[in-house]
Amino acid sequence: MPKATFLNLAQEKKDLITDALIKHFATKPYHLVDISDVAKECRVAKGSMYQYFENKKDMYFYTIEVAYERFLQLLTKMDMVHVNILDYYENSLESVWNAMKDLRYEYMLLEMAFFSHDSPFKDEINEKFLKQSRDFLVEIIKYNQKQGFIRDDIDPLLIGIFLEGASFYMKKFIIEKALNENNTTTFELDIDYFKDAISQFIKLLKEGIAKK
């Protein structure tokens, strides 16, 4: 938890630091994040970072928490629990796209924190965030099965894993394509290509890859 010193800072400065932390922890593994780099980027003394936070781990967890909150805010806006998950993927193209645009680093950070091996705090993070997140997904799947939106002859947990994997790789592919095509920070990508890709993805999800 950040110290009071941090919380008392002007919102603008807090955001500057938070965003720098998210960016750094999102693009490098924990061990390669150099606090003095982050400090330099914020034009703040290295020591100040330790006035704001207990230690590096504190910065990391704070960073994850903020990223997670920002992400959840987006999801809760959609009342995920009571939505047809297929419709959700199908209709929310634009908003997902925008989320990925706006919360790109947050997204990358969370993926890394949850799925990469490079954190010395994997178990803690898993305990704190991941379990609820997979459980949450499984809940949605169960609800969708009960409503008859999706097939109910498959273990909801397996569907969850299937969904997570396929969609994570899909998103990663899209993000990397976007990042490669423009090294700037603008993160522009042909929206049409993206729409088309997502709609094909949905088809695969719904209908499978088998020839009919």
Partner DNA sequence: GATGAATGAGCTTTCATTCAT
Partner DNA sequence: CATGAATGAAAGCTCATTCAT
Site for a copy of itself in 58-87 (CB under 8 A): 86
Alpha-carbon distance of 197 to 191, in angstroms, equals 10
13 binds, among a copy of itself, DNA, none (CB under 5 to 8 A by kind): DNA
Size of the site for a copy of itself (CB under 8 A): 45
Q: Is 13 in the site for DNA (CB under 7 A)?
A: yes
127 secondary structure, DSSP code: I
Q: Is 46 in the site for a copy of itself (CB under 8 A)?
A: no
Return the structure tokens found at 13.
């400065």
16 binds, among a copy of itself, DNA, none (CB under 5 to 8 A by kind): none
Q: How far is the CB of 148 from a copy of itself (least distance, A)?
A: 6
Q: Is 55 in the site for DNA (CB under 7 A)?
A: yes
Task: Report the residue number, 129 or 201, with the smaller CB distance to a copy of itself.
Answer: 201
Q: Is 128 in the site for DNA (CB under 7 A)?
A: no
Return the structure tokens found at 100.
């990925």
Q: Which of 185, 210, 189 is nearest to 198 (CA)?
A: 189
For 183, the 3-state DSSP assignment is coil
Residue from 4, 72, 81, 204 that binds DNA (CB under 7 A)? 4
HSE-CB at 105 with a 13 A cutoff on CA atoms is 16
- What are phi and psi for residue 49, nearest 5 degrees? -55, -30
